[in-house]
A = this chain, B = another copy of it.
Amino acid sequence: MEGRAYEFELARVITTIRERSARVVGLQLPEGLKTIALSLAAEIAAESSAEVIVSGNSCYGACDLDEQLLGFVDLLVHFGHTNTFSGSTRKREPKENNYTNVVFVELRSTVDLKPVVERAIPLLTGSCIGLVATVQHVHGLDEAKQLLESAGKTALIGKAALPGLYDGQVLGCEFSTAEVPCDELLFIGSGAFHPAGLALYSGKRVIAADPFTLQLRSFEPDELRKKRWGAIARALDAESVGILIGLKSGQERLNDARRLKRQSESKGLTAFLIALTEITEERLLGFQVDAFVNTACPRLVEDLTQLRRPVLTLAEFEVVLGERKWEQLWE
C-alpha cells in the first residue's frame, strides 16, 4: 500500500468475504485514507471475486458507519476504527451485535515509535507522563514507556475504560485513559483532533508526537478551554435554542435532546429540535435561533466557531441552563 505503513489485514478481509459468501462488499475509509480506497477496492475485488463498492461519504469514527451503503452490501469493511461501541460517547451502550455484517480493521501501524518518542522527551517538562495513542499505535505504548523510563521519567498507561478498547487508547470523544495521576500527556498519533480533545478534556498539557512525520506539537488546555468558556458566555442570554440531533446512528441521542428541550422550556427558552446528518455551519445558517446545542459528536462544536451564534456541547449547554457547574464541564 502507498505511503504510510498500516496493516490492512487483507488476508483476514478476503477470508471473511469467502466465509460469509459475500457477493457485494462495501469499503469505508477515514478521510485521510480516501486516496488509497480505489487501489484497495481493486485488490479485494481481484482476490475475492466480490463486487466492491467504495463509500465516498465522510467517515470520522466507528460512530460514523455508512449505514446507507450497508443496506446495499453483504459485508461492510470499515477501516481505521475500533469496534468498541458504535455510539460516539462513553455514555452509550455497546451495540456491536447490531453490526454482524461489518468487519472492523483497526489499521495498526508498522512504524517504529522510537525515533519520535526520543525526539519528544526533551519537550516533556514534568517527571510523570501519561502515555496515550490512537488505536493505530497502542501496541507500541509499552516500548514508549520503556524509552521514557530510560530517560528518567515515570510513565503511566491508563487502563481501558470499556471492553474492546485498549490500555492507553483514546478516541475522539473518549479520553478516560488519560485520567492517570501525571504531570502531562504524551500522545502518539497523527493530526490535531485527538490531542486537542485530550488537552481540553484532561486539563493537562499534551505533547503530540506523529510517528510518521516525526513532528511534535504542544496543546495547552487553557487556550482551548477559554474558547469554550467564551461560547458558553455568549449563550447565557439566549432566548431561543436549536437542539441538534445527529442522524448518524452512532451519534443519535434523541432522548437527551428531548430532555434538553424540556429543561430549556422550563427555564423560559424557546427550543426547537433539528435533525441533521452532517452538521456544518452552512446547514445551520438558515435557522433563526440565538444558540445551538449539539447532541451528536461532542467534538464538532470546536469547528463551528464562524457562525455568529454559539454552538455548545450538551454539557456546555447544561451549564447555561444551570444544571451543571462550570467546574464539572469536562467530566
Q: Which residues of A contact B (CB under 8 A)?
A: 26, 31, 34-35, 37-38, 41-42, 51-58, 66, 68-69, 72, 242, 244-245, 247, 252, 254, 258, 270, 272-279, 283-284, 286-289
Which residues on B sit within 8 Å (CB–CB) of A273?
A: 51-54
Q: Knowing A38-B288, A56-B284, A273-B53, say if A247 contacts B68 (CB, 8 Å).
A: yes
| Copies of this chain in its oligomeric complex | 2
Q: Are A38 and B277 in contact (CB under 8 A)?
A: no
Which residues on B sit within 8 Å (CB–CB) of A37?
A: 286-287
- Give 26 A-B contacts (CB < 8 Å), ordered by A residue: A35-B287, A37-B286, A37-B287, A38-B272, A38-B287, A51-B273, A52-B272, A53-B245, A53-B275, A54-B273, A55-B274, A55-B276, A56-B244, A56-B279, A56-B284, A57-B247, A57-B275, A57-B276, A57-B277, A58-B283, A68-B247, A68-B275, A69-B247, A72-B247, A72-B252, A72-B254
Once bound together, how far apart are the Cα atoms of A54 and B274, in whole Å? Answer: 5
Q: How far is the CB of A194 from chain B (nearest CB, A)?
A: 21
Once bound together, how far apart are the Cα atoms of A72 and B31, in whole Å? Answer: 28
Q: A56-B279, A72-B247 are in contact. List 4 more A-B contacts (CB 8 A).
A: A38-B272, A38-B289, A53-B274, A56-B283
Select one of B26, B31, B270, B279 contacting A275, CB under 8 A.
Answer: B26
Q: Are A54 and B272 in contact (CB under 8 A)?
A: yes
Once bound together, how far apart are the Cα atoms of A26 and B272, in whole Å? Answer: 12
Q: Are B57 and A283 in contact (CB under 8 A)?
A: yes
Once bound together, how far apart are the Cα atoms of A21 and B298, in whole Å? Answer: 34
Once bound together, how far apart are the Cα atoms of A35 and B245, in whole Å? Answer: 18
The 7 residue pairs across chains A and B that have the minimum distance between CB atoms: A34-B286, A56-B276, A68-B247, A53-B273, A35-B286, A56-B274, A69-B275
Select the residue from A72, A254, A272, A275 with max chain B CB neighbours within 10 A: A275
Residue on B nearest A242 in the bound complex, by CB: B38
Which residues on B sit within 8 Å (CB–CB) of A41?
A: 272
Q: How far is the CB of A253 from chain B (nearest CB, A)?
A: 12
Q: Knowing A288-B35, A288-B38, say if A278 contacts B275 (CB, 8 Å).
A: no
Once bound together, how far apart are the Cα atoms of A272 and B43, in whole Å? Answer: 12
Q: Are A275 and B245 in contact (CB under 8 A)?
A: no
